[in-house]
Amino acid sequence: MKVYEFVLNNTHGLHARPAGLFVQACSKFQSSVALHKGDVKVNGKSMLGIMKIAASKGDELKIEIEGADESEALEALKQLIDNNFDE
């Protein structure tokens, strides 16, 4: 299992467009992806789940990835996050 903790820095948080990009990135991999905000855990491949946590700029989030291609999935998600979801 790979775990990555980060602070959300993009201006508008995980609104529809960046949430969609996150889900698309997760869906490219076989591994399961969970996104945590505090005590709330959602499926990273679920748009409704990502929208449910209503992550805003400055929120501390954690990603857990488990599966055969977890390293590749983590690198793809780190790149998306580091690029502030192309905003």
Nearby residues of 26 by Cβ (< 8 Å), 6 or more positions away:
33, 44, 45, 73, 77
**Residue 15 annotated as catalytic:** yes
State the catalytic residue, choosing from 2, 12, 15, 62: 15
Among all residues, which ones are annotated catalytic?
Answer: 15
